[in-house]
A and B are shown apart, each in its own frame.
Chain A
Amino acid sequence: MNNFKIYQCENSIDGIFTAIYQAWDSGYGHANVKIEEQSETNNYSNIELFSDYILVKTNLEQALMVSKSIKAKISLEAYEMVCRVALSDYKGKGDLIYRFLILGFHIGSKIVGHLSNKVVNSVFKLNRYVNGETHHLLGFIRFSERENGILTSIIHPKNNVLSLVTPHFADRLPNERFVIFDGNRNICSLHLPGKPWVIAEFPDIDTSDFEGIVDDEYENLWKIFFDNIAIKERINPKLQRNNLPIRFRKDMTEFEYV
């Protein structure tokens, strides 16, 4: 019998693109294949009976072909949208991207306007979600100055937004050495003056490795400012919580109390 084929791939843009390339190329037909990325929270989903599992090894050349065709045959906008979906923490994003591309290659650049289509709509929602967290972090990221003058920041984002936030800081702080560490994924972006920034994986460090005791006068001044700027007559924790979700606070200087 004709078994359903499940392509299991790495949880990365390249991994997902490789799987898409292979699934497309296989000739099994879109209805008979499914992409399944290794998710961040649970490694593989329930094994489905009557399905064949195909383990996809990430292949940069194949991934590149996919990105090129998206840009050429759909649009740059669609490409960026797909990338953001791939960086999200949504389970099943690989297959969503696959379904989106099927439509996209068929319809072309107008695909992004098909908001009443379920697949397109999901892609849109995920984009807003990822953009939202990125935008939050542009503001909420805090750097601490270490003894050696390196600015260090630790974040715990839901989505894999490191590659989306770093360019902003590279542009803003061209003369600084800085490090942003994603404590949920053990990846780090690094920037040195006059050089392009990079992202590197550090499987065996964790946030505590960054916690040297640094007595930074300006952290103290910032807390003073933060406490004093609130208007007592308008204290409103609910509004504050709504605007600044609690989950961000553990990485923010002004919410650290000794």
Chain B
Amino acid sequence: MIIQEGMSIQRKLEILSDAAKFDVACTSSGVDRKGNGSGIGNSLACGICHTFSADGRCISLLKILFTNECIFDCKYCINRSSNDVVRASFTPTEVCELTMEFYRRNYIEGLFLSSGIMVSPNHTMELIFEALRMLREEYHFNGYIHCKAIPGTDPVLVEAIGWYADRMSVNLELPTASSLKQLAPHKSRKNILKPIRQIQLRRENNNEYLGIYDGRQNERNQVKNLILRDSNSGSNNSIYNKILNSYNSKLNQASEYNSVRLDNELNVASPESTNVIPFSKSPKGRSRYVPAGQSTQMIIGATNESDYHIMSVSETLYDNFDLKRVFYSAFVNVNNDSNLPSTVSGPPLLREHRLYQADWLLRFYGFKIAELLTEKNPNFNVLLDPKCDWALRHLEIFPVEVNKADYYTLLRVPGIGVNSARRITTARKTAVLDFKDLKAMGIVLKRAVYFITCGGKMMYPIKLNEDFITRELLSVKDRLPFGIEKDITYKQLSLFDDVSFKPDDRLVHQQISLA
């Protein structure tokens, strides 16, 4: 290991930003916090992109490792202990100064601090805790902080850090325990899930105490309730009956094996897991514990799990662990490890893209994974986005009437995203809409025409025939991110969480990907 004494701050930044670049989570969402009139900083729930790097990804946070030294040897990681790379570490003061000075110049929304493991998880997390504490209490930094928790850290430290960070995350790394064992021999699923559960319970506890309900969770529940309500009311004009029926039957077939799996892993592995919150009091002036919640990330394509497998894990994380985001990171074989898949011809970006699309469907469209994939058909269609693919398999519920269908039914129409569905439900209060109106409202009809009627009529006389519509949909250019395929017009499926112009409105995200 090469450790350089007295390294300049420039050199450290070079090394430690380079080493952090594969971490995809780059969000500053969910927290709306006004400036406090003193100190420095506020936070907007909608998130702000400050610039876009050469790979087209949004930069909103100073994303660095605290150190790239590491005692672990994860096969996919450039900083693994067996690699001969230049090592560097910041001091807590250096992290504070960089954050403050970048923030003043409006380069960033805040700090995203991750780290390799120097000496031990506890040793490293203590230094990180010190950096965060100083930023908040000595520099009076009121901007956004996202902090990684290292698996195996003492729960007391995790607890303490949570009062200073807006978001915390523990990387799940790989979708299954066995892949993890194979590629990250020093990590265990149990050690990863434990802090996730701890933070979740602490947040619930804290929110309950403060009487705060969680907006996002609430939204998800609304979707669920809506599904239930519709199915109870027995109303015929909602497609939910049909969806629900097919969903239930699928679910029965597929067994719930997948969705409860993570919970089991955690409970079996750590019987003390329900009792992990150590006692602590919140530091002065900090009343919310990890207000922006947790996220995690999985590496895609390093091991051979199917999309179904990956998305089932995500669904469990959203439903049972209250995660705010799951990020998918296309595997890049940085170590040219011959035991891992080669990425010479490029990382699996299209696959990553489809997973993000499906992730949106889970979080904002009321979809369940069992509707999109099955054990028999476990991977997404490369040619069609997951929603088109789903619609083609459910032609019996289409077309739907634009002037009547409820909001969540509209959302199921290919080509209609959250923004379009909102615009439609608003506009039809005052007028009966026809296709001309939809166009004027900026709603893209290329895909939607096959699935909707206006005033009982389709735009063209079309037979609802699967082959025909499939062919037509395939001829509509899939809006993939630039660089995945040539000549596409598409405005990023950014790794950025919430780009919306209405900070108070978390549903109006950039829906570009699914429209």
Q: Which residues of A contact B (CB under 8 A)?
A: 110, 113-116, 118, 121, 125, 128, 131-132, 134-135, 138-145, 151, 153, 168-169, 171-176, 218-222, 224-231, 233-240, 242-244, 252-254
Contact = CB atoms under 8 A, between A and B. Distances in A.
Contacts of B440: 115-116, 118, 121
Nearest to B9: A221
B501 A131 contact: yes
B482 A229 contact: no
Contacts of B38: 174-175
B62 to A, nearest CB: 7
Contacts of A174: 35, 37-40
Interface stretch (B191-199, B292-300, B343-351, B369-377): B343-351
A226 B64 CA distance: 12
From DSSP, what is the main secondary structure of chain B's interface residues? loop
Nearest to B330: A234
Contacts of B332: 231, 233
Nearest to B18: A228
Nearest to B100: A218
Contacts of B58: 243
Interface string B29-65: 0000011011111101010111111111111101110
Contacts of A141: 106
B13 A171 contact: no
A116 B441 contact: yes
Given A115-B423, A121-B441, A236-B482, A222 B102 contact: yes
B104 A143 contact: yes
Most buried by A among B40, B41, B49, B107: B107
Contacts of A168: 42, 44
Given A141-B106, A175-B40, A114 B55 contact: no
Given A233-B332, A242-B56, A142 B40 contact: no
A232 B63 CA distance: 17
B393 to A, nearest CB: 31
Contacts of B48: 135, 138-139
B229 to A, nearest CB: 25
A175 B39 contact: yes
Interface string B1-36: 000000001100110011011100000000000110
A210 B48 CA distance: 26
Given A221-B9, A237-B54, A240-B55, A116 B501 contact: no
B231 interface: no
Most buried by A among B42, B60, B105, B437: B105
A175 B41 CA distance: 10
Nearest to A131: B501
6 shortest interchain CB distances as A-B pairs: A239-B56, A115-B427, A238-B482, A230-B54, A236-B483, A239-B482
A115 B427 CA distance: 5
Contacts of B101: 218, 221
Nearest to B107: A222
Given A221-B9, A234-B347, 12 more contacts: A116-B427, A116-B431, A125-B442, A140-B51, A174-B39, A219-B105, A225-B13, A228-B21, A230-B54, A231-B332, A236-B54, A236-B481
Interface string B96-115: 00100110111100000000
B429 interface: yes
Interface string B481-507: 111000000111010000101000000
Contacts of B143: 172
A53 B34 CA distance: 48
Contacts of A239: 52, 55-56, 481-483, 492
B14 A228 contact: yes
B430 interface: yes
Most buried by A among B21, B50, B483: B50
5 contacts: A118-B440, A225-B102, A228-B14, A240-B53, A254-B51
B501 A171 contact: no
From DSSP, what is the main secondary structure of chain A's interface residues? helix
A192 B427 CA distance: 44
A144 B107 CA distance: 10
Contacts of A219: 105
Contacts of A237: 54, 56
B422 to A, nearest CB: 10
Contacts of A234: 55-57, 347, 349, 483
Nearest to B11: A224
B426 interface: yes
Given A116-B433, A222-B107, A244 B52 contact: yes
Interface string B288-326: 000000000000000000000000000000000000000
Contacts of B46: 135
A230 B423 contact: no
A127 B104 CA distance: 29
B53 A229 contact: yes
Contacts of A235: 54-55
B106 A169 contact: yes
B501 A230 contact: no
A109 B37 CA distance: 34
Contacts of B482: 236, 238-239, 242
Contact of B430 (A110, A142, A143): A110
B45 to A, nearest CB: 13
Contacts of A242: 56, 482, 490-492
Contacts of B481: 236, 239
Contacts of B98: 218, 221
Nearest to B17: A228
A236 B106 contact: no
Contacts of A224: 10, 13-14, 17
Contacts of A118: 440
Contact of A240 (B9, B37, B56, B431): B56
A174 to B, nearest CB: 5
A257 to B, nearest CB: 14
A237 B483 CA distance: 9
